Structure 1
Amino acid sequence: MSALREPRADLAREGGPRGEGASRNEASELRVVLAVARKDLLQELRSRAATVATLFFSAVTLVMMGFALGREQAVLNLAAPGVLWVALAFAGVISAAQNFQSDLEEGAFEQLLLYPVPRAAIFLGKLLANWLYLTALGALVAPVAFVLFGVELGAAAWYVVPATLLLGTFGFAVIATFYAGLTANLQAREALLPVLMFPVIVPVMLGAVRATEAVVGRSDAALAGGWLQLLGGFGLVYFVVCSALFHFVVDE
């Protein structure tokens, strides 16, 4: 419980009387967002519950698919982007579910809802923590996947792959955070979360895989740019919708 005291104290200070003016309110809400994200990241750094599970799952997925696909390089080049994003998707489900589960077990989420702060600020804080975690995980897993599958990256990969990781993990984190909150109090949440999430994240997965494919074995920056625009567009739509609906989810 000590891991949560300092961030919660930050939240308590933000729950005081509102300052005058819109700029002060926005600054106050920003501090709430950062305090929630800090709480979640500190909690994970000290418990490492999701980190161990996601790293193990990602490693097993990459190794098993590497053996299953054989040694034909053309096949490996085609499969590597899909395998990479499937590993990140399932790892993201584990991470988001563990995030809310830890809060519920320790009563932290109920305390967050008692503070007089916008529900959207809580959502944004949890989203920020999940996004940073998934981005860091992708930065670790992607080089391992490319080396394991022996793929050659095109000249545009140095900026296309990081941009794809940032936009892809953002869109995925938005949906994962929203649906993890939706299913947090359900008995079958572990089974329901991927069932509800995966149909919605199909555009994000498709865009991320195609953008990565555009720089594997070639360097088609124009093609990658089109898929990155798709990723950014869907991420923005998901962000606006989920932020607006989150208070209905947690207040039920």
Structure 2
Amino acid sequence: MAKYKRVILKLSGEALAGEQGFGIDNGVLKSIAEQIKEVRDIGVEVAIVVGGGNIWRGATASHKGMERATADYMGMLATTINSLALQDALESIGVVTRVQTAIEMRQIAEPYIRRRAINHLSKGRVVIFAAGTGNPYFSTDTTAALRAAEIGAETILLAKGKVDGVYDSDPLTNPDAKKFDELTYIEVLKRGLGVMDSTATSLCMDNNIPLIVFALSEKGNIKKAVMGEKIGTIIRGDKND
């Protein structure tokens, strides 16, 4: 039996790009959809927040001179493209899915309505939250934390492309980097580990929502996470929680 009944799965846009580094890799998209179906089939209610970094990064454009709000709104549109692609991949394998956007786009998706999202989840549908919070200056990490609190998710599954947890330094450049099995949110903030931005981390801490960080590259990891198996790094308010 799954340890968690309702979860938020946070996917980075880069994860959808696969090895090509940009755009959407259909093979990766199919693999992610199959893993989501696997947990949906055992009764777990799954909501998803997906980033847009494989198409557009608002913060990067802002640093290069573009007005920040404009750059961020463009990023929200990128998350919507990814959300529609993921919806199509899920529905192609029989998973009923709804996309809800924080910016109204009636022709392609529902507007975000909290009670409607919860109703979809209770009926076994996967819900994908697109367009971030609908506001510039907020990341999709913050969106995941906010939506998790709103819908009563029991945990956030933070799926990384290649890194299999939280380390004290970048394991891709430092072979001696130390991996953490467990951390508290206070430790994450004090160490400046950058798992999520500080707004998202504080939201999770204030609402006592545990975060599980793991690698998406190994198939079956999403199911392992919802089953409560030791995987990646778990972050919570207190290690004794």
Tell me the TM-score normalised to structure 2 length: 0.33
**Which has a greater percent of helix?**
1
Tell me the TM-score normalised to structure 1 length: 0.32
